[in-house]
Structure 1
């Protein structure tokens, strides 16, 4: 088996913002040559497949500036400083974005969103036995969204019309479909 590891020789920070940082690493390749790698550093995120008692999934609809479109996604958010357990973040995000709380939580997986250039990992949870928290969303000042409850068929139609296009949400819908009879 060939050694595939790249050894970092140096790192230059190009940008550090509120959500991401951009670094350029000079690496030694397995063959001894050097190359550069542009890397986006991200603190990580969570996403929640929240399922109601009548087998509907909770979605948020929001404008996503990087793709210039209004999309439907499962609730999600960035892990904030000081949050060492992603489940804490998931519970906070579900309530802030949808006003739901869940009695039952299950970790489904963790996925790298774009490992070719970013270290962001997203922890995906399933939340069931939902209740309304306060009848008031707790959105960030720059966050605007609509909450929707969708059936499996409705969610699949939104995939077909390209209103659902992100990997975490497609994964969640597939998980829901595969486990539909267990809910």
Structure 2
């Protein structure tokens, strides 16, 4: 028997349960320490990017958007899915910043990477820090984004909103507090093209494989 931390959790079988527009569910049969096999449900999801947007007055650009599963509007960071296989995360972040806020940024860094709930899903988000802002044309918005509000909030106030429970979106809380921590420690941030070990790609490949196989 291997020592703790040395076991290889091999997948010996896998079956698809559901594949929809935003998620897929599969069940993997995984070898546990000691040789027992157990089922593990895995929700496949697109990777995503989000942007902590900092203006020259040391304010964050936040958005307030309706989220149907919770039935209310949440304060969030500009963000979007990586739903094209091989899409560069920085390019996606630039696109989402423009589409949701009508802004572009000159300076970019990686602020933090987040595995949102690794007990059952491969969903992961890369959060960038962007500054050196300028206004650009914003495309017409649709669906929930047509109702999107934009606000500029001082960094200290955004931290306080997270601690008061007024900002609950996991990516927003992580990004805001990571910015505060990086400032307090004086740590340098990673470059925008830094390696992203946990970037999810399985669901995007699944969707495009399915689309390619459908009759035209």
Query: Normalized against structure 2, the TM-score is what?
Result: 0.76
User: How far is the alpha carbon of 1:167 from its aligned partner?
Assistant: 2.5
Partner of 1:109: 112
Partner of 1:48: 51
Partner of 1:147: 150
Distance 1:7 1:99, change over 3 A: same
User: How far is the alpha carbon of 1:30 from its aligned partner?
Assistant: 1.7
Q: 2:39 aligns with which of 26, 36, 40?
A: 36
- Write the deviation string for residues 14-51 of structure 1: whole angstroms up to 9, x where unpaired: 11112211111111112111111111111200010000
User: How far is the alpha carbon of 1:116 from its aligned partner?
Assistant: 0.4
- Write the deviation string for residues 80-124 of structure 1: whole angstroms up to 9, x where unpaired: 214521001000001111111001111223221111000011111
Partner of 2:61: 58
User: How far is the alpha carbon of 1:161 from its aligned partner?
Assistant: 4.1
The more displaced of 17-26 and 46-55 is: 17-26
* C-alpha distance in 2 between matches for 1:167 and 1:59: 14
Establish whether residue 121 from structure 1 lines up as the match of residue 127 from structure 2: no
* CA contact 1:9–1:26 (8 Å) conserved in 2: yes
* C-alpha distance in 2 between matches for 1:72 and 1:97: 13
Q: Which structure has the highest strand share of the two?
A: 1
Q: Secondary structure at the match of 1:126?
A: strand
Establish whether residue 71 from structure 1 lines up as the match of residue 54 from structure 2: no
- Write the deviation string for residues 119-143 of structure 1: whole angstroms up to 9, x where unpaired: 0111111100011112x45434443
* CA contact 1:97–1:138 (8 Å) conserved in 2: no
* CA contact 2:29–2:38 (8 Å) conserved in 1: yes
Question: Mind listing any 5+ residue stretches in structure 2 that lack a counterpart?
Answer: 187-216
* CA contact 2:116–2:124 (8 Å) conserved in 1: yes
Query: Normalized against structure 1, the TM-score is what?
Result: 0.89
* CA contact 1:49–1:57 (8 Å) conserved in 2: yes
Post-superposition, which runs of at least 4 consecutive aligned residues in structure 1 deviate over 3 A? none
Partner of 2:201: none
* C-alpha distance in 2 between matches for 1:56 and 1:78: 25
Q: Secondary structure at the match of 1:147?
A: strand
Residues paired across the two proteins, number: 181
Q: Which structure has the highest helix share of the two?
A: 2
Establish whether residue 21 from structure 1 lines up as the match of residue 24 from structure 2: yes
